Amino acid sequence: MSLRVALLAFALAFLGSLTAPPARSQGAAPDSLGAFFKGLSDSTDASYGAQSIAIDTTGLDSLAANALMSPPRIKKGRGRLTLAPLLGYHRAESVIAGLTSRIGTPARGWLSMSGTYGFGNHEGRYAFGYRRTLVYHGLRRTRALADPGRILDGATRLDAEIEYARSSLAFMPEHAGHRLWNIEPVLSGKGSASLYEQRGATGSLTLWTGDWRFIAGARHAIEESMPVVTDWTLFNTSDAAPPNTQAKSDEYTEPFGSIGFRRGDWEFAGLIDARGGGADRWRLRGVLGKSLRLGTSLKFNAQFEGGATAANAPRQRRFEIGGDRAVPSLPLGTGGTDHLLLGKFEFVEAHDVLRAIGIGHPDWLVLQPMATFQTGVVWDDPAQRDVVFSKPPSNAWRSSMGAGFAMRVGAPEPDVLFRFYLGWPVGPEAGTPEVRASMSSTFDLIGRL
């Protein structure tokens, strides 16, 4: 009897299997799309391998079902103290060393502290800051709020920030580059802008919305000059270090503001910075940047910068034109006038040069050919007027060209390039040929927006 039942069951099962295909074929229309994508998915599984795709889901259903009522306690790293070393060298400070730290949460804000000690001038530098995000619509993640904001598609953010600091600041900071972790001053004494001391408090509000960034704030500060305390360099000990430009002693309260714009799809960005502080201190600066595709493997980047300040503005507010970010054949510190015009043009080609010529190289060393041209002028208004627009003297233009290699670093910003090139002067009084190395973003005169 049981045999019969088993045979019957087998027969039914067999019949079922026979009848199954027609049933599937009848239902093929709605299900076959799923089957089609399932087939692609299976192919993906095979290419990745079971070692990567198999996720342990044991017990996950019950954890998920009770997530709201009894959420598991899992330790997260939010609010931890972060510490990072600071190291640098400058002729006005000698070796400096210190620490920077930050602690906070997205809800409570971020407290930052940093301090360094200069072993040459025996002075300390410190900064205490607090930043809190008041409004945020966008990617609300711990990391997104821990870092300073930026223009992001679909994100709006309003930050309030206060800071009290005693700092060593660079003249013409927009062209100065990085002060810390900069090896060039150690090697040759060059590559670092003159410094002055600023002590004071700053409060600001920053709004990022759509393609725009707005900053408004106020500052009270005391500024002093800094003398040269060492002329030591690793490879150029016989030659004195460049002088440290003397700042004018000043105490002031100023409002400041900035409007920035960036459209990634247009590959266009713009910036206007303004500082107040009275008739003898105001300062205005604007930059435009635009990239163009030239064919499929060549890119052209252009930046235009203009600036004006009060005719009697202190030296530390005036404009300079030398250095990697301006006219590289001229040294940092060139200028010190109340007006500036600068144009920077750069061509970057896509091909990996070392691979193209068949030279073996580490996988990370991808060198792309590049060429640059810079031209600019700094001048004082002949009539000593406090004006924004003034005609530059035609004989004051200085230019340089360069050719070399660019390497995409991709960090901390995706468009950061390391550039290594030979720059030479074009025209009279445009400096001397220099081998230059610098790391900056495509629109380095605009910076992070």
Partner 1 sequence: MNSTRLIACAATLLLLAAFALPREAHAGTPGTLPQSPLRGVPGGPTLAEEDTIPIPSALLPVYVVTAPRVSLDEILQRVAEGEARRDSLMLDQSYTLSARITYLDADEKAPTGAKTRVEYASKVYKKRPDKVREIPLRQKSDYKDQGEGIDIGAAPTMREQIASFAFEPRARGRFRFAIQDRRIVGGHVVYVISFTPRSSVDPLPEGRVWIDTNDFVIAREEFWYRGISPAPMFFKRIDSCVVERTKVDGKWWVVSRLLARVQVTSMARFFAKLSKEPLTPTIDFVGVQTDWRINQGLDDAVFSGATK
> Scanning residues 286 to 345, which ones bind partner 1 (CB under 8 A)?
293, 295-299
* The dihedral sign for the CA sequence 372, 151, 285, 131: negative
Q: Counting contacts by CB under 8 A, is residue 153 touching partner 1?
A: yes
Q: Counting contacts by CB under 8 A, is residue 19 touching partner 1?
A: no
Query: Judged by CB under 8 A, which stretch of 23-31, 160-168, 226-234, 336-344 contacts partner 1?
Result: 23-31
Neighbours of 13 (CB within 10 A): 10
Residues present in the chain in total: 449
Angstrom distance (rounded) from CA 102 to CA 91? 29
Smallest distance from partner 1 to CB 362, Å: 6
Nearest alpha-carbon partner for 352 in 341, 362, 342: 362
In the set 21, 360, 411, 428, which binds partner 1 (CB under 8 A)? 411
**Near partner 1 in 239-268, by CB under 8 A:** 263-265
In the set 36, 84, 122, 220, which binds partner 1 (CB under 8 A)? 36
In the set 74, 238, 358, 383, which binds partner 1 (CB under 8 A)? 74
Query: Judged by CB under 8 A, which stretch of 62-70, 93-101, 160-168, 182-190 contacts partner 1?
Result: 62-70
In the set 19, 25, 101, 142, which binds partner 1 (CB under 8 A)? 142
3-state SS class at 24: helix
In the set 11, 46, 67, 279, which binds partner 1 (CB under 8 A)? 67
Kindly list the distances between the CA atom of residue 220 and the CA atoms of 168, 276, 301, 312, in Å, as whole numbers in the listed order.
16, 11, 37, 20
Angstrom distance (rounded) from CA 61 to CA 42? 24
Chain-centroid distance, C-alpha 422: 24
Q: Counting contacts by CB under 8 A, is residue 360 touching partner 1?
A: no
Q: Counting contacts by CB under 8 A, is residue 40 touching partner 1?
A: yes
* The dihedral sign for the CA sequence 48, 49, 51, 54: positive
**First-to-last CA distance in the chain?**
84
Q: Counting contacts by CB under 8 A, is residue 104 touching partner 1?
A: no
Count residues binding partner 1 (CB under 8 A): 72
Angstrom distance (rounded) from CA 426 to CA 384? 29
State the residue for tokens 């006005």.
Answer: 92
Query: Judged by CB under 8 A, which stretch of 77-85, 221-229, 230-238, 427-435 contacts partner 1?
Result: 77-85
Q: Which residues are 3's β-sheet partners?
A: none
In the set 1, 18, 75, 395, which binds partner 1 (CB under 8 A)? 75
In the set 2, 17, 26, 47, which binds partner 1 (CB under 8 A)? 47
* DSSP structural state of residue 390: -
Whether 25 and 35 have beta carbons less than 8 Å apart is answered as no
Smallest distance from partner 1 to CB 407, Å: 7
Nearer to partner 1, 20 or 63 (CB): 63
Nearer to partner 1, 121 or 440 (CB): 440
Angstrom distance (rounded) from CA 295 to CA 215? 37
Smallest distance from partner 1 to CB 140, Å: 6
